[in-house]
Structure 1
Amino acid sequence: MKGYVFHGPGQSAWEGVPDPGLKEPTDAIVRVDAVSVCGTDLHILAGDVPEVPPGTVLGHEAVGEIVETGSDVRTVRPGDRVLVSCITACGRCRHCRAGRYGQCRGGGGWILGHLVDGTQAEYVRVPYADLSVHPLPGTIGDEDAVLLADVFPTAYEVGVQLGCVCPGDTVVVVGAGPVGLAAIITARLFAPERVVAVDASAARLESARELGADAVAEADEDPGQLVADLTDGAGADVVIEAVGRPETFELCTRMVGAGGHVANVGVHGGPATLHLEDLWSKNVTLTTGLVDTRSTPTLLRMAVAGRLPGGRLITHTFPLDRMQEAYDVFGNAAETGALKVVLGGERREVVPAYEV
């Protein structure tokens, strides 16, 4: 088969690799029908995730069909259409038992496309399949479902839930890429007073408006002043960092108000300054996190019911064998306008479970 292989910082290729086989009785082999490229993949290629060994097939988000299962797999069988989660969970260690699947100590966590071969290939081996894949109903399309592998759970869990978004809050989302836009969508589920989006791209800010932002600010237009004006100087209740740069993290800490929350979602490849000289007396809570994907079943039900406009985040689609082109488009989003790129896939009409 073929897969997209990391050979070291700045070096990668779509090339022939060995077909995956079952290694443990809890494994499943999935034929990949749709896969996406994540900002974390770009961080790997930039050398920001040094533990990824050269020769690894990248990718941690996919939709596909089960073609083989180990003898201990109970919840899926060959022929089932499934979502492959970005997080693998053994289900037995202390962290998994507490729902912290991202911190799994039993051989799981974020391993696909990181410590073992990932999903950007024609087939993928998924360890601990019973907890790491989710059967999909026929009413949700491949391209919409693949966003539930990482983008929506990450935005919802690490941004909205850890940020403790509450009714009446002022929520600021810094970074209007796919995860930031998903944070806007899911933050609105909690009835905040307003959601403010900050980004350097006018096109992404327009997308943010379309998906529910009440106000937008370009990064070079003093967004802190806008937030101060909107809140009578009190600052934001919740600020979600969805970029992963020192300057955006520090901007978040300047915009948060007393008693507020800063939820860092972005992947940082270098240090950022924490200005405790300004924050120590403000009762501010700072959270970081790797997604656990415990919310995936809930988000899947919402998507089937038509409550998550996930497909609107997809701007480019490609056949699976045009992986390098997809990376080029996604990696040059400022020029291409890319939000989320999906390879393979089939759109299906989502039939809402009920009408409002």
Structure 2
Amino acid sequence: MKALVYNGPGQRSWRDVSDPVIEDPEDAIVRVDAVTICGTDLHILKGDVPTVDRGRVLGHEAVGTVLEVGDSVRGVTPGDRVLISCITACGRCAYCRAGRYGQCLGGGGWILGHLIDGTQAEQVRVPFADRSVHRLPAEVETESALLLADILPTAYEVGTLAGQVTPGDTVVIVGAGPIGLAALATCGLYSPAKLIVVEQAESRQKAALEHGADVALGAGDTVAAAVAELTGGLGADVAIEAVGVPETFELCTEVIRPGGRVANVGVHGAPATLHLEKLWIRDVTITTGLVDTSSTPRLLGMLAAGRLALPGLITHRFGLAEMQDAYDTFARPAETGALKVALFNEETLTT
């Protein structure tokens, strides 16, 4: 089969690799019908995630059709249309029993496209299938489901829930890429008084305003001063970091009010300065986290019921064999206007 292979920092190839096979009775082999590229994949290609070995098939979010299951799999059968979660869960360790699947000690966590071959391929092996794939209701479209593999649960759990967004809050979201826009959508479920987005790219500012932001601040703004003015000098109740660079994290700590919460969602590849000399006296809570995807069934149910309005994140569509073009497009959002790209296999494209 064909797959997108990481060959070291700055190097990738779309090439032939061996088809996946059942290695454990809890495995499933899934044909990839639709897949996307994550900002984390770009971090891997930059060399920011040294735990990814050369030769690894990248990707950790997809929708597909089950082809084969191991003898111990009970939740899905061949022919089922499923969502492949970005997080794999053994279901038995102490963290899984607490719903903290991202910290799984039993061979799960974030492994797809990281520690084992991932989803940017024609087929993928998914360990612990009963807890790591979700059968899709007929009313949920493939393209919408794709956003629930990673983006929506990440923004919801690590941003909205960790930031404890409550009715009447002022929320500042730094970054209006896919995660930032997903955070915007999920924060909206809790009726904040004001949603402020900070983003340099004008196209993404526009997208944020179209999908619920009250204010979009950009390159020409003094952000901390603008937030103070918009909040009567108090600052934000919640600041969500959705980029993953030191400057944006530090900005979140500047715009937060005493007693506020900073929720870091971005994947960082370099150290950021924590100004405790300023923060220690202000009762500020800072959270970090890897998504657990414990919220995926709830989000999937809301989507099926028409209760979850997804922002228009997918801006570019490709065939699976156009993986290299999709990466080039996704990696240059300022030039291409890309938010999220989706790739479909031939059978999906023709149905």
TM-score relative to the length of structure 1: 0.96
Deviation of residue 317 (structure 1)? 0.4
Cα offsets for 1:310-340 (capped at 9, x unmatched): 3611100000000000000000001000000
Q: Which amino acid aligns with 1:179?
A: I
Q: Which residue is 1:121 aligned to?
A: 121
C-alpha separation in 1, matches of 2:271 and 2:87:
25
Q: Is the 8 A contact 2:182 2:311 kept in 1?
A: no
The runs of 5 or more residues in structure 2 that have no matched partner are: none
Q: Indicate the SS of the match to 1:56.
A: coil
Q: Which residue matches 1:344?
A: 344
Q: Higher mean Cα deviation, 321-330 or 214-223?
A: 214-223
Q: What RMSD over aligned residues (CA atoms) do the two structures have, in Å?
A: 1.0
Structure 2 residue 58 is the aligned partner of structure 1 residue 53: no
Judge conservation of contact 2:209–2:215 (CA < 8 Å) in 1.
yes
Aligned to 1:95: 95
Measured against aligned partners, the alpha-carbon deviations of 1:187-242 in whole angstroms (never above 9, x if no partner) come to 01001101000000111011111111111100441121121011111110000000
Residues 327-336 or 296-305, more deviating: 296-305
Correspondence for 1:245: 245
Q: In 1, are the aligned partners of 2:185 and 2:311 still within 8 Å (CA)?
A: no
Match of 1:235 in 2: 235
Partner SS, residue 73 of structure 1: coil
1:180 CA drift (Å):
0.3
Q: Look up the match of 1:297.
A: 297
- Number of the residue aligned with 1:149: 149
2:291 and 2:274 map into 1 onto residues whose CA distance is 23
Alignment of 1:305-320 (within 5 A): 305-310=305-310, 312-320=312-320
Contact 1:27 1:70 in 2 (8 A): yes
Looking at structure 1, the residues matched to 213 and 201 of structure 2 have their Cα atoms a distance apart, in angstroms, of 15
Q: 3-state DSSP class of the match of 1:312?
A: coil
Q: Provide the C-alpha distance between the structure 1 equivalents of 2:139 and 2:189, rounded to a whole number of angstroms.
A: 23
The Cα shift of 1:305 comes to 2.3
The residue number in structure 2 matching 1:85 is 85
Give the counterpart letter for 2:103 in structure 1. Q
Amino acid of the structure 2 residue aligned with 1:71: D
Residue 188 of structure 2 corresponds to which residue in structure 1?
Answer: 188
Q: CA deviation at 1:303?
A: 1.4
Give me the whole-angstrom Cα distance separating, in 1, the residues matched to 2:85 and 2:227.
36
Cα separation, 2, equivalents of 1:169 and 1:148? 25
For 1:93 and 1:65, how far apart are their aligned partners in 2? 28
Residues 1:311 and 1:3: Cα distance change in structure 2 (over 3 Å): farther
Contact kept in structure 2, 1:59 and 1:112, CA below 8 Å: yes
Q: 1:142: how far off?
A: 1.2
Q: What does residue 179 of structure 1 align with?
A: 179
Please tell me whether the aligned partners of residues 228 and 235 of structure 2 are also in contact (alpha carbons under 8 angstroms): yes
Contact 1:159/1:264, CA 8 A, preserved across alignment: yes
1:279 aligns with 2:266: no
Aligned residues of 1:29 and 1:69 also touching (Cα < 8 A): yes
Aligned-pair CA distance for 1:128? 0.2
Moved more, 11-20 or 133-142: 133-142
Which residue of 1 is the match for residue 168 of structure 2? 168
Return the alpha-carbon distance in structure 2 between the equivalents of residues 109 and 187 of structure 1: 25
CA offset digits 1:106-127 (Å, max 9, x no partner): 0000000000000000000000
- Amino acid across the alignment from 1:280: W
Residue 309 of structure 1: how far off its partner (Å)? 3.4
1:56-112 CA deviation, whole Å, 9 max, x = no partner?
000000000000000000100000000000000000000000000000000000000
User: Partners of 1:148 and 1:328 in 2: how far apart?
Assistant: 23
Do 1:144 and 1:311's aligned partners in 2 also have CA atoms closer than 8 Å? no
Counterpart secondary structure, 2:176? coil
Deviation, 1:308, is: 3.0
**Kept after mapping to 1: 8 A contact 2:211/2:311:** no
- The match for 2:25 is 25
Contact 1:174 1:241 survives alignment (8 Å):
yes
Question: 1:153-173 deviations in whole A, cap 9, x for unaligned?
Answer: 000000000000011000000
User: Match for residue 335 of structure 1?
Assistant: 335
Residue 139 of structure 1: aligned partner = 139
Extract unaligned runs of 5+ from structure 1. Answer: 348-356
Contact 1:85 1:133 in 2 (8 A): yes
Moved beyond 4 Å, runs of 4+: none
Q: Contact conserved, 1:260 with 1:283, CA < 8 A, in 2?
A: yes
How far the C-alpha of 1:31 sits from its partner, in A, is 0.2
**Which residue of structure 2 aligns with residue 212 of structure 1?**
212
Q: C-alpha separation between the residues in 1 aligned to 2:220 and 2:112?
A: 37
Contact 1:143–1:311 (CA under 8 A) maintained in structure 2: no
Aligned counterparts of 2:216 and 2:310: Cα–Cα separation in 1: 20
Structure 1 CA distance, aligned partners of 2:45 and 2:17?
Answer: 19
Q: Residue 71 of structure 1 aligns with which residue?
A: 71
Correspondence for 1:16: 16
Looking at structure 2, the residues matched to 315 and 210 of structure 1 have their Cα atoms a distance apart, in angstroms, of 14
Between the two proteins, what is the percent identity of the paired residues?
64
Is the Cα–Cα contact under 8 Å of residues 167 and 192 in structure 1 kept in the other structure?
A: yes
